[in-house]
Each structure stands twice: as structure tokens, then as C-alpha cells.
Amino acid sequence: MVTRCAQITPLSGGKKDITAPKVLSYNPENASLNFNTKTIEIQFDEYITLKDIANQFIITPQVKEIPEIQTQGKKLKITFNETLLPNTTYKLAFGNAISDLNESNVLQNFEYIFSTGSTIDSLKFQGKIFNSLDKKPESQILVGLYSKDSKDSVVYKEKPLYISKTNLEGVFYFNYLPNMPFKIVAIKDQNKNLLYDGSEEQLAFIKELVYPGDSSSITLNLFKEKPSKSFIKKSYSVEYGKTYIIYNKPQTDIKTVTAKGLLQYKLNVFKDTLSLYYNKKFDTLEVYVNHENQKVDTVYIKISSEASFNKQTSNKSIKYDLKSNLGTVLAFFDLPTFELNVPVESKNIHTERIELIEKLDSASNPLPFILVKDTGFVSSFKIQATFKQESNYELTIKRGAITDNGDRTNDSTVYKFKTTIMDDYALLKIKLMFPKKENYLVRLLNDKEQLINERVVEFSLTSTSEKLMEYNNLPPGKYFIRVVEDVNKNGLFDEGNYFLNIQPEIIFMNTTPIKLLPGWEIENEWIVK
């Protein structure tokens, strides 16, 4: 007898389904005219499901109540609960909401069109949205069309008539539009209410009306409006002797700041945060900020009590902290620089308790230095000495080098560092050819978009519109130039204002990186446009 076993193999379900659902029939037909029913049924070739329908589905023009959308096996059912406008073309855009039930294959950008009149509107246009700061395209931005006769406040009060959203490239499309002009506004609609909620959101607009059918593409710049009213967002104390007042917008008109015990105050580079330094004041710091064009801000800031201060003093926990540019290396052209957490009187920095040593192979030589500091109250200082290239040094700031009559002092700190050499760096010379004789801010950024250098450029009536910019001792890497057209000469980039029809100030960027290598000298040109 001969026996034979069949080979055992796992059961196969066939090829994996990789296709999106296909429409078998519409009722009424897609692109129907004289539409007069309350229900639309669309039959697919497989079981379907809906995902993220609230965000994916858009109907234009807008209706008062979103239709009811549900799946019934292989059928999609849309039910209207209101009377539609006469002689109007409607578009139901489902985005990527429809997919098959088993494999989640998405039916991308599915649309259903119908008209309640005798014709289908067929006009269209497109555009692109960029961020006004970095010129990068903005995705998922709501773009709305409004009646040409609507007031500017419509973006706050009413939903757009027609809606689109930008794709990953910042591009938006409108189609099936009637032959009439519209106002256009784009909104970064964070709460998805289809309205503009003021300076909490970003927007973009153009003053002119747009006309469907125009073959030219529209460009919009997205920006965040500065609040119309100035107010203090927050005020607090971070440690004894130091407090902050944070505003909701830049403060460009501060005249004076006064308070009992106040030593010094300064405004940060963005002009929206005041740092206040005080001494021998407890419980509450009462601050008066005087402005040129607005009322005085009176701020009460809770600070340490005298009992808490005495306890910290006895524990020696109140100190002068030093923030330094020193790591393991110091650029050959630089000086050791120290920033204090709170200012100190100039006379209370004791150079005899600071020691600088040059470290040689077999010996250590004390190195004379000069302490570079302001008179009066000092927030920072530098150590000036004759540093050699590619040499080792040790800087010791002993305890008690910085004092405040025994209440506050510094901890002893040792810095060991080596200086670099000239050939570690590069030189960049770039000729900028500006589009017109205006005021500009020229910003040099690295490939992490960190600001390396900023310069103000102004032109006289007799000068040319060219400027040669030279940057010495740049670390190797990739760099970009960003130019701000500073029309109002305030040294800041100013956003736009919707109600005043003001666009954000123009920013120009060179998109091609400037590559610098050690020891190189690069000469470049850029036509700013």
C-alpha cells in the first residue's frame, strides 16, 4: 500500500484590498439640476465608514444647519433639514472622510455637486498662503469668501459663504462659483467655529475684491494682529531682588518706571517684558510705569517678606548668580563676559578676588586683566586681557568677589577654557541690492533660524540702493539673510491690522543657504525681492 500526505498550507483570503471605495450610483445624480429633494443617497461597491467628518466635510455655500450624514452598509445618506437657496450651485466636499470599512482605504477629495436652478456655476480660482514671518507655506488654513457688500466685521460675526482649506503646499482652490466678486479672508481657525476670534488667531486678507474666473493666482500673507489695547498679562517675582512685568504687546512709549527700592529696570528685545531690580523692600513692590501716550500702569507685585528674607540670608541662599559666555572654548576675538541675576553697585565688585591664569605645559602664569564695567549699578561685566590664540586659561572668581553688604554674595567658580584661532572662522561679504530707498532691518540667521546679527540700513536721497554688509568671525555653517522693510523705523517687524487695511511689513528672504567653511572668505550678492 502506498500512502501520500497533502502539503498543509495556511488558508489565504486572497489579495489584500488596496483600492478605495467606488461609487456605483447616485440618487439624485451627481451634478443634478433643479435639485428639490431633502435626501441624497450614494451607493458604493463595498462597506464604508466615516472618519473625522466634522473637520473634513465642507458644504458651500454655507447652510444654517449642517446636513445629517450617515452610513448604511454600502450606502452614504445625506439629509437636509432646511430649505436651500434658489438658483444656487452647492458643493459637498468630503475631503478624506470616506474610507472602506475593512482596510481603511481612503476615497480622497470626494465631491457631490448639485444646483437648485437650471445651471451649474462653473467659475473657479486659486491662491497660496504664506506665513508673513518666515515665508513658509501654511497648511490647513480656512479660506473664506464673503459677500462684496458685507462689512469688515463679517469675519467676526458670520461664517463665510464659500470655504476652502490650504493643502500642505499652502495652496487653496475654489470651484463651482457664481459670476460675482467676493471679499476674501483666510483664518487659522483654531477653535473651528468658522469665525475670526481676534488676535488669538492668525489671519490673512487683501483689500481688493476677488473675481472668480480670474486666471491669476492670489497670494495672502498670514499674520497675528497686535491687540488693539495694551494690558499687563502677568507680573511676578522670580527671586528676592528681581520681578517681571509682562505685557500683551510691545511697549514702545515707556518714559519712566518708578518704585520704592527700585535699583534698575530694563525692557527686553521684544519690548514686551520689563525686568525690575530692587533692594531692601519687602511684601509688596508698588510700581508705576509711565507712558507717552497712555495712562500710568500701577502694578502691585507680591515679593518676599522680611522674615523670609532674613531666613534666606541666614541660610546664605540669596546669591549673585553669574551667567557666562564661557564654556570649554572662548573665541579668540571675544572676552569672558558675565551677566548678573541682579545688579550690583560698581564698587562692590572686588577685582582682587578674581584671578586669571595662563596655563602652559610646565607652568602657570598670572595674567593681568581689567574689569570692564559700568559705573553705578552693574548688570554685567567683562574680563579684558591679552589672550593668545589656541592657548589654555583658567579664570577663578572667588567667593566674595561680588558682595552686597553681607546680604548677598557669589559662590566660588572656576572656568577652564581654550581660545580658538582665526582660521576656525569665516568671513562673509554680501552686497545687497534693495528694491527701493526705504528703511530696513537686515538679519543674519543660522540654519536653526537663530538670529546671529541684526543691522539697521537707512538710505539718503543721494545714495544708491546698494549696501555692502561684512560679517567677520562667523562659525562655519549655513546662513540666511532676512530683510525687514521697517517702514515706521521702530526697529521691529510690525504685523498687519485687518480693520485699518494694513498688511504686515514686507519680509524678504534669500532661500539659498550661504555655506561658510573654516578659514574661507565668501563674497556674495543678493537682489532683495
Task: Indicate if 418 and 343 belong to the same structural domain.
Answer: yes
Edge-to-edge order in the sheet of strand 68-72: 23-27, 39-44, 75-79, 68-72
Give buried/exposed letters for 204-237 (b at 16+ CB in 10 A, else e).
Answer: bbbeeebebeeeeebebbbbbbeeeebeeeebeb
CATH of the domain at 188: 2.60.40.10
| 12 assigned to some structural domain | no
CATH of the domain at 377: 2.60.40.3710
Question: What average pLDDT does range 46-74 have in this prediction?
Answer: 92
State whether the Cα torsion 96-97-98-102 is positive or negative.
positive
State whether the Cα torsion 413-416-420-425 is positive or negative.
negative
Q: Give the residue from 163, 197, 224 where a domain finishes.
A: 224
Cβ-based neighbour number of residue 441 at 10 Å = 20
Range of the domain at 261: 232-314
Confidence (pLDDT) at 116: 96
Task: Indicate if 435 and 523 belong to the same structural domain.
Answer: yes
| 1 assigned to some structural domain | no
Task: Indicate if 150 and 166 belong to the same structural domain.
Answer: yes
Question: What average pLDDT does range 214-224 have in this prediction?
Answer: 91
Q: What is the pLDDT of residues 484-518, one digit of tens each?
A: 999 888 888 999 999 999 999 999 998 899 999 99
Residue 109, pLDDT > 60, answer yes
Residue carrying the nine cell digits 564698587:
347
Task: Indicate if 505 and 521 belong to the same structural domain.
Answer: yes
Confidence (pLDDT) at 334: 95
The whole-chain average pLDDT of the chain stands at 92
338, three cell numbers: 558675565
CATH of the domain at 287: 2.60.40
| 328 assigned to some structural domain | yes
Q: Give the residue from 314, 348, 382 where a domain finishes.
A: 314
Around 237, how many Cα atoms within 13 Å sit in the side-chain half-sphere?
21
Task: Indicate if 326 and 411 belong to the same structural domain.
Answer: yes
Task: Indicate if 244 and 279 belong to the same structural domain.
Answer: yes
Closest CA to 503 of 482, 485, 527: 485
**Domains identified in the chain, total number:** 5
Band of pLDDT at residue 1, cut at 50, 70 and 90: very low
Residues 6 or more apart from 528 whose CB is under 8 A from it? Answer: 432, 433, 434, 435, 483, 508
Closest CA to 35 of 106, 108, 84: 84
Question: What average pLDDT does range 43-67 have in this prediction?
Answer: 92
| 8 assigned to some structural domain | no
Band of pLDDT at residue 17, cut at 50, 70 and 90: confident
| 351 assigned to some structural domain | yes
Confidence (pLDDT) at 14: 59
Confidence (pLDDT) at 363: 85
Question: What average pLDDT does range 515-529 have in this prediction?
Answer: 94
Confidence (pLDDT) at 491: 87
Q: What is the pLDDT of residues 134-176, one digit of tens each?
A: 889 999 999 999 999 999 999 999 999 999 999 999 999 999 9
Residue 315, pLDDT > 90, answer no
| 412 assigned to some structural domain | yes
Query: How many Å apart are CA 472 and CA 302, to the nearest integer?
Result: 46
Confidence (pLDDT) at 321: 94
Residue 6, pLDDT > 70, answer no
Q: What is the pLDDT of residues 231-272, one digit of tens each?
A: 999 999 989 999 999 999 899 899 999 999 999 999 998 899
Q: Supply the pTM of this predicted model.
A: 0.75
Task: Please state whether beta strands 319-320 and 409-410 pair in parallel, antiparallel, or not at all (unpaired).
Answer: parallel
| 290 assigned to some structural domain | yes
Task: Indicate if 270 and 204 belong to the same structural domain.
Answer: no
| 463 assigned to some structural domain | yes
